[in-house]
A = this chain, B = another copy of it.
């Protein structure tokens, strides 16, 4: 090693020892007769002293020219520091340097390598290797590693086997777009990169593997929204001979373990909520239950009282905003504008202030009695001093709008605390959702999800009413995992494909191998997949995933550091039997 200790190692007990350190120059302060250098590596920072009197002349002279991010190796004695820095683990000592070896010089970096950098996002992406030198970035990657190894050891101890499934598989037009890979050896044919190892993990269950997991890259060629990556990582899991309860128990255990090990927080048993309840109470199938502001529906209280705006709506629903009674007219108008933004899409908002003296003031005072407003307040669990924010409209849209408002209020009121962890299970998802555009049902989870056995009879006549043995694990308002009990019966799977509008031929061409496998003794099975990027971000106290990925793509799917994707030589295209379409 080009060092005897790391830059985070040295303590008072090392005083008097001669040590060798290597690292980067964090900063150098030249006082003329003395040069102090903060030497940095992954493990910490140690102060070096080059002293006109006590360091060799040529060493002292060389030290004058050290710039930021130079890589050096030094040898010297650990001495006690005069002005100790109790903030730094190594702050009681410094190294009186006797030998200095310049390992590599550095140009001035394009942004400061400090906890708070002065570099913009695009610049930091381009020089990602410099950005990773900053403590917060490095800590996030180390945190990610720790989460992953916790997952592996926890599941392995429960007899789960990590099995690598293939990356070069077959394209299926169902769902999101696949990334494809032309085959040189099979001209005109393509592999696809997996959107998930779904069918392979089911085949592993058919193959008797009993308990499988894999931390695995998956790929989706979707138009990127902010914070979506074309490649992302899943913790993919499957178990045989289980029912839904077994899966919930097993992965609640894993999630508790991860929260406790990585954050030090203990959590109780996870609450469970049906999809219907989550939608009704939070307007959202991934509710953030760290804070209240649950929905109060007031159709019965607010309709047919002369306020026509409400009368014609499918749903009138509101929330109580803590402390909202003190909002100025301008602040309330700000919130009305906020819900009317096209991204939210509400037509308007009714407000009621629940004043401390027990009276009410509202935008609809003309139409409602104080006693009406009091009942609304009760329905929304409002306290004196709160405001009620109320929307009306078609049920699903209005819930979505009010949910967006609730989340934004939660953010601004500081109710979404990064160090608080509120997981829950959302269960009993509908099996199918109707798609207006294609005029057919789509699988809400995926086409392999099993209907609840007690709903099987409705599959023919009321498919939209059928619930699935499907579940999501929600943490702090984010879906961190989702899964289902799978169909293991070839006939039922075939019936599902019918319902989803697959012809027999399409089903056979795309999933024939799975249907074939079901002929040979498929066991009951089910599973779950976690989004690792999101999970580590939330456990790290963040919601944005990008900093938890070593080399992310930007919103156009480009890696700006290596400048990919890029054109190919025609020679390479010829080998693949491909031409680029030219635009007319």
Q: Is the CB of A557 within 8 A of B185?
A: yes
**Chain B proximity of A49: nearest CB distance (Å):** 21
A328 interface residue (CB < 8 Å to B): no
**Chain B proximity of A555: nearest CB distance (Å):** 10
Taken together as a complex, chains A and B put the C-alpha atoms of A401 and B189 apart, in Å, by 39
Q: Is the CB of A524 within 8 A of B103?
A: yes
A420 interface residue (CB < 8 Å to B): no
Q: Which residues of B contact A105 (CB under 8 A)?
A: 521
Taken together as a complex, chains A and B put the C-alpha atoms of A556 and B185 apart, in Å, by 7
A238 interface residue (CB < 8 Å to B): no
A504 interface residue (CB < 8 Å to B): no
Q: Which residues of B contact A524 (CB under 8 A)?
A: 2, 103-104
Q: Is the CB of A520 within 8 A of B559?
A: no
Q: Is the CB of A186 within 8 A of B520?
A: no
Q: Is the CB of A579 within 8 A of B576?
A: no
Question: B145, B513, B521: which contacts A106 (Cβ < 8 A)?
Answer: B521
**Chain B proximity of A99: nearest CB distance (Å):** 16
Q: Please name 8 further chain A to chain B contacts, defined as beta carbons within 8 Å, in addition to the given A1-B243, A579-B579, sorted by A numbering.
A: A1-B241, A2-B241, A141-B161, A165-B551, A166-B550, A180-B181, A188-B580, A512-B563
Name A159-218 residues within 8 Å CB distance of B.
Answer: 161-171, 173, 177, 179-193, 199-200, 203-204, 206-211, 217
**Chain B proximity of A570: nearest CB distance (Å):** 11
Q: Which residues of B contact A489 (CB under 8 A)?
A: 104
Name A125-180 residues within 8 Å CB distance of B.
Answer: 127-133, 138, 141-142, 144-145, 148-149, 152-153, 156, 161-171, 173, 177, 179-180
Q: Which residues of B contact A231 (CB under 8 A)?
A: 166-168
A429 interface residue (CB < 8 Å to B): no
A519 interface residue (CB < 8 Å to B): yes
A19 interface residue (CB < 8 Å to B): no
**Chain B proximity of A44: nearest CB distance (Å):** 11
Some 6 contacts from A to B, beta carbons below 8 A apart, are A106-B520, A130-B207, A131-B207, A145-B156, A177-B184, A187-B580
**Chain B proximity of A166: nearest CB distance (Å):** 5
A223 interface residue (CB < 8 Å to B): yes
Q: Is the CB of A551 within 8 A of B200?
A: yes
A interface residues with partner B (beta carbon < 8 Å):
1-3, 22, 24, 40-43, 69-71, 73, 103-107, 109, 127-133, 138, 141-142, 144-145, 148-149, 152-153, 156, 161-171, 173, 177, 179-193, 199-200, 203-204, 206-211, 217, 219, 221, 223-224, 230-231, 233, 241-243, 246, 488-489, 512-513, 517-524, 549-551, 553, 556-559, 561-569, 572, 574-581
Q: Is the CB of B559 within 8 A of A168?
A: yes
Q: Is the CB of A209 within 8 A of B42?
A: yes
Taken together as a complex, chains A and B put the C-alpha atoms of A320 and B223 apart, in Å, by 67
Q: Is the CB of A207 within 8 A of B522?
A: no
Q: Which residues of B contact A153 (CB under 8 A)?
A: 149, 153
Q: Which residue of B lies closest to A243 (CB)?
A: B2
Question: B109, B129, B149, B206: which contacts A129 (Cβ < 8 A)?
Answer: B206
Question: B24, B142, B164: which contacts A550 (Cβ < 8 A)?
Answer: B164
Q: Which residues of B contact A185 (CB under 8 A)?
A: 221, 223-224, 556-557
